[in-house]
Structures are given as structure tokens and as C-alpha cells.
């Protein structure tokens, strides 16, 4: 059983090229163009979903699937352009692609708290926003109120922790032709933290994001309780 309703995964291609990273951002321009319009739609969907949660306590499933689909699309582009874990070109689709080495999914909540919808995307998430600003290194204080829009964007690679890890990954690829596993695992932990907060701010879950780095390409699995354990 997964420890969190958000599942963010990726794997490293066994034969990454040394210089492909130089042009990936250029090759991904068609994706960025499409994502501009998808993200505009996601902002409109968030407003409608916010009203729906306040009135009914539910997030309409079609709207939920759309928002998760936009985030999934972004994550695949992110894995290709900035995570640099794959040289496979991302598919143009909102749905999951079991053949692509990067995926994102969110468990659908049958009920959501009406009261939390009023405060979780700005007030309750402030501690996370401050930490995210630190490891992304490129957010101004005035940007934090826009987290619901950023929930559907590829996180920027600033010159803080995440930016340094990007540079290390590039150096490793250029000089060794491989991705340093420890760097990949740490980057996945940072991205996983960011996405969990983004999902929370987007009203897709009521589960508060944990303050931890769950590293590695696969989501951690909850350990079964010992036999005879109580509580």
C-alpha cells in the first residue's frame, strides 16, 4: 500500500546520450506550447473545483482527471528536459503511458473537507512553500500565492539545491556517460516533495504533505505491521 495518495515515479534509461541534454529544451518546445493552453484550462478547472468542494465536498471526477493529466504531462516533459533521466520523447497525452519511463498518478478522493478547501492551498501550506522556495531557488515571495497555478507547471531549476543537482547530473553524463544514481535519487525526492505540495494546493487531496524526502525512482511502500501489533 502506498504511503501517500500521490505516486510520482521515474527510471533512468540504460543508454543515455552524453550530449542530448543540450537540445532537449528545444525539442520540447511543441510540448511547452500545448501546455500553455492546458495550464490555462487547469486554472479554470481549479476555480470550478474549489466551488464544487465548498458546496458538495467532492471534486468532480472529470475535472480531477484533467488536472492530474496536465500534471502528468508536465512530469513527463520534466523527466525528459530537466531530470534528464530519459532520452525518449514524451507522448502528447493526458493519460498514463505504461511504456514511458516517468509517470504520475493521484488517488481520487471520494470526499474532501469543505473547511480545508478555504485554507489549505495558502495558509496551511506556507511552511512547505518556504522550503520549496529554498530548494528551487527561483521563487520570489510574491509567487507563493500562485501555487495552484504552479501545480501544473514544470518546477524551475534554480541555482539553489535543485539547480546544483542538475549541474552535477549534466557533468556526470558528459564525463562518464551515465547518471549518478545518488543524484537521481535525491532529485526524485525533491520533485516528489514539490508535487505532493502542488497536489495538496490544487485541492486534489486532504492529506497534508509529509516533511520528508522519499528518494528513489519508485514510491516507498508502507511496511506491514508486525504480527500481533496493536494500535
Specify if 71 maps to a domain: yes
Specify if 216 maps to a domain: no
Specify if 1 maps to a domain: no
Query: And the C-alpha cell for 18?
Result: 552524453
pLDDT at 229 over 70: no
* Mean of pLDDT values over 5-28: 95
* Mean of pLDDT values over 188-210: 96
Specify if 220 maps to a domain: no
pLDDT digit string, tens, across residues 126-152: 999 999 888 776 443 334 344 444 444
pLDDT at 156 over 60: no
**In Å, how far are 32, 54, 79 from 28, measured between CA atoms?**
6, 38, 11
Range from 1-5, 122-126, 159-163 that averages highest in pLDDT = 122-126
Helices (H), 82-160: 114-119, 126-136, 147-150
What average pLDDT is seen over the chain?
87
Q: Residue 129: name the closest of 197, 27, 32, 208 by CA.
A: 197
* Mean of pLDDT values over 210-214: 93
Phi, psi (5° rounding) for residue 10? -160, 160
Specify if 229 maps to a domain: no
pLDDT at 74 over 90: yes
The H or E element that residue 167 is part of is: helix 161-176
Task: Give the residue numbers spanning the domain of 157.
Answer: 6-201
Amino acid at each position: 500500500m502506498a504511503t501517500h495518495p500521490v505516486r510520482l515515479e521515474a527510471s533512468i534509461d540504460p543508454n543515455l546520450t552524453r550530449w542530448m541534454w543540450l537540445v532537449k529544451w528545444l525539442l520540447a518546445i511543441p510540448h511547452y506550447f500545448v501546455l500553455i493552453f492546458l495550464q490555462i484550462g487547469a486554472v479554470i478547472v481549479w476555480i470550478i473545483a474549489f466551488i464544487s468542494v465548498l458546496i458538495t465536498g467532492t471534486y468532480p471526477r472529470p475535472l480531477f482527471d484533467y488536472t492530474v493529466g496536465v500534471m502528468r504531462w508536465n512530469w513527463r516533459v520534466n523527466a525528459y528536459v530537466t531530470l534528464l533521466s530519459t532520452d525518449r520523447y514524451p507522448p502528447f497525452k493526458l493519460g498514463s503511458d505504461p511504456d514511458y519511463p516517468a509517470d504520475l498518478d493521484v488517488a481520487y478522493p471520494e470526499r474532501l473537507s469543505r473547511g480545508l478547501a478555504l485554507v489549505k492551498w495558502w495558509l496551511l501550506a506556507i511552511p512547505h512553500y518556504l522550503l520549496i522556495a529554498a530548494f528551487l531557488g527561483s521563487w520570489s515571495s510574491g509567487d507563493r500565492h500562485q501555487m495552484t497555478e504552479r501545480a501544473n507547471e514544470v518546477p524551475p531549476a534554480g541555482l539553489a539545491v535543485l539547480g546544483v543537482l542538475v549541474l552535477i547530473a549534466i557533468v556526470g553524463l558528459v564525463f562518464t556517460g551515465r547518471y549518478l544514481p545518488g543524484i537521481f535519487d535525491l532529485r526524485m525526492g525533491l520533485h516528489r516533495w514539490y508535487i505532493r505540495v502542488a497536489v495538496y494546493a490544487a485541492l486534489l487531496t486532504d492529506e497534508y504533505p509529509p516533511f520528508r524526502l522519499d528518494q528513489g525512482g519508485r514510491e516507498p511502500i508502507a511496511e506491514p505491521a508486525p504480527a500481533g501489533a496493536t494500535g
